């Protein structure tokens, strides 16, 4: 069975995972650890734990964001360098989708999914984007927990009405939220403890989820990318703007366009 090394450092808790013969060897960084100095030694440790050399890897994968700008760049550049040096396929995995993958496979998720008719529904991934904003993306899942993105990740103000985040009718209302920003929006389950448990599981197994998604793509003949094409998904490309500039732009976007006659 192919072996995959995965890197995820888009959040305050960095993680690396070696997936070998479906067994996961994972290490997570503590919040006060500098990820750039922790990462390479951590990779060596999981490889040692799995009894494998870098040259024996079949693929490299990384979470491409969004998230911490420094963290996303760190994961991307490290995976890029490893894939190039080892001449291995590189898989760029959407961090939001990987989080959703981990959430629906969490042991505690079954009680939440039971309210989604057991085999279908939507899951919102809502992450704290700092600067008074949230990253949000919705996924649907059905048979075999296959995920499908309903829209691209986008940033919203953290002041958005909570129910607006999970609004919908019929099947569209059968949603639950996970992520560092999920508790800011009360979901249909209204079970903060359950949401927290699923969120913590997904975050602690983030790199493992990325490894499993990359392995699935590898086995199904999914396309890898050339190391030179690896790039982070920042969502917010300009973070140098002041809060005033961002607020002004938001007001302008919300203001109805005046007719030319006016």
pLDDT of 260 strictly over 50: no
Separation of alpha carbons 210 and 152, rounded Å: 18
> If you count them, how many residues does the chain have?
262
Q: What is the DSSP string of 162-200?
A: HHHHT--SGGGG-EEEESTTGGGS--TT--HHHHHHHHH
Of 43-47, 109-113, 146-150, minimum mean pLDDT range: 109-113
Q: What percent of the chain has pLDDT over 70?
A: 68
pLDDT of residue 166: 47
Summary mean pLDDT of the chain: 79
Q: Name the one residue in this structure whose structure tokens are 């997936």.
A: 19
Of 7-11, 38-42, 188-192, 212-216, minimum mean pLDDT range: 188-192
Q: Which residue has the higher pLDDT, 179 or 112?
A: 179
Do the Cβ atoms of 76 and 90 come closer than 8 Å? no
Do the Cβ atoms of 61 and 89 come closer than 8 Å? no
Q: Give the pLDDT confidence of 44-87 residue by residue, as tens digits.
A: 999 999 999 999 999 999 999 998 888 899 999 999 999 999 99
pLDDT band at 212 (very low <50, low <70, confident <90, very high): very high
Domains and CATH numbers, the chain: 4-95+204-229 (3.30.420.40), 96-202 (3.30.420.40)
pTM score, whole prediction: 0.80
Q: Give the pLDDT confidence of 153-201 residue by residue, as tens digits.
A: 556 555 554 444 444 444 545 567 788 887 765 545 456 777 788 888 8
């Amino acid at each position: 069975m192919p072996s995959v090394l995965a890197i995820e450092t888009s959040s305050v808790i960095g993680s690396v995972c070696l997936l070998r013969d479906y067994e996961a060897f994972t290490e997570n960084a503590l919040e006060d650890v500098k990820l750039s100095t922790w990462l390479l030694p951590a990779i060596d440790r999981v490889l040692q734990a799995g009894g494998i050399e870098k040259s024996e890897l079949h693929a490299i994968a990384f979470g491409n964001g969004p998230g911490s700008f420094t963290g996303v760049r760190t994961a991307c550049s490290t995976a890029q360098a490893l894939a190039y040096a080892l001449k291995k396929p590189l898989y760029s995995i959407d961090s939001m989708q990987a989080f959703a993958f981990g959430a629906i496979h969490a042991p505690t998720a079954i009680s939440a999914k039971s309210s989604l008719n057991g085999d279908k529904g939507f899951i919102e991934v809502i992450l704290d984007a700092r600067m008074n904003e949230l990253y949000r993306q919705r996924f649907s899942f059905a048979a075999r927990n296959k995920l499908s993105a309903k829209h691209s990740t986008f940033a919203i103000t953290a002041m958005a009405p909570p129910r607006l985040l999970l609004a919908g009718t019929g099947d569209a209302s059968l949603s639950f939220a996970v992520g560092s920003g999920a508790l800011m929006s009360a979901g249909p389950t209204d079970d903060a403890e359950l949401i927290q448990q699923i969120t913590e599981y997904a975050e602690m197994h983030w790199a493992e989820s990325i490894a499993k998604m990359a392995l699935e793509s590898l086995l199904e003949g999914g396309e890898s990318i050339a190391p030179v094409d690896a790039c982070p998904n920042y969502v917010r490309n300009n973070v140098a703007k002041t809060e005033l500039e961002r607020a002004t732009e938001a007001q302008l976007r919300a203001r109805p366009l005046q007719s030319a006659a006016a």
